[in-house]
Amino acid sequence: MEQLNLLWSNTGLNQMVWGQGLMLLVGMLLLYLAIVKNFEPLLLLPIGFGAILANIPGAGIAEGSGILHVFYVIGIESGAFPLIIFMGVGALTDFGPLLANPKTLLLGAAAQFGIFATLLGAIGLTAVGVFDFSLTDAAAIGIIGGADGPTSIYVASKLAPDLLGAIAVASYSYMALVPLIQPPIMRALTTEKER
């Protein structure tokens, strides 16, 4: 019996806390959405895989000398990953629809409204006592409203490094789930003829 207790105490299941279990489920959900539903697999697949790897109980992959921590130091703290992502997104950008219909350029200006709305939302949640964000934390969170992942990562690494992981996941998940969020909003705001 003592050997069984020793075996159980050394398993990952014994070392798991509820937060890790929740993040493992979130990672699996993101993998499902990326692979089965084909929702932005370029974004959701690495995020889901990273969420699963970082939360394996007892593995320590995301801390100390673990491989994910090494990636964090090399890519995020140095600022290399946002630059690489900007180049990749720039190479994938199709300007055909913008050139065909230049008035859609105004949609880019709408991102600024999203930034200020998110900033004011973070400040408002602090004012009512739900969260305790400083002004720099709220500014880093506000960049999520622009739906621009690399910019969110860069600004968070400079203004709120302690919130970097949450901001990166939130901004990329938000962008990746646009195909899921957008259709009901479009149906609510447009007529059948406009669609």
pLDDT for 91: 72
pLDDT for 19: 87
136/13: higher pLDDT: 136
Is residue 158 in some structural domain? yes
In this predicted structure, the answer to whether residue 42 has a pLDDT above a threshold of 90 is: no
pLDDT for 153: 83
Domain identity same for 144 and 63: no
The pLDDT confidence band at residue 26, using thresholds 50, 70 and 90, is very high
Is residue 133 in some structural domain? yes
Give 121-158 pLDDT, tens digit per residue: 999 999 998 988 999 999 999 888 876 777 888 888 88
How far, CA to CA in Å, does 131 sit from each of 4, 20, 127?
43, 22, 8
Number of domains observed in the structure of the chain: 2
Is residue 192 in some structural domain? yes
122/114: higher pLDDT: 122
Domain identity same for 131 and 185: yes
The pLDDT confidence band at residue 195, using thresholds 50, 70 and 90, is low
Give 67-102 pLDDT, tens digit per residue: 888 888 888 788 788 778 777 777 777 788 778 888
Cα separation, 45 vs 28, in Å, equals: 10
pLDDT for 127: 92
Cα separation, 163 vs 185, in Å, equals: 29
What is the C-alpha radius of gyration for the chain, rounded to an integer number of angstroms? 20
Domain that holds residue 31: 1-78
Domain identity same for 59 and 138: no
Domain identity same for 46 and 112: no
65/48: higher pLDDT: 48
Domain identity same for 192 and 110: yes
pTM exceeds 0.75, yes or no: no
Mean pLDDT of 9-26: 82
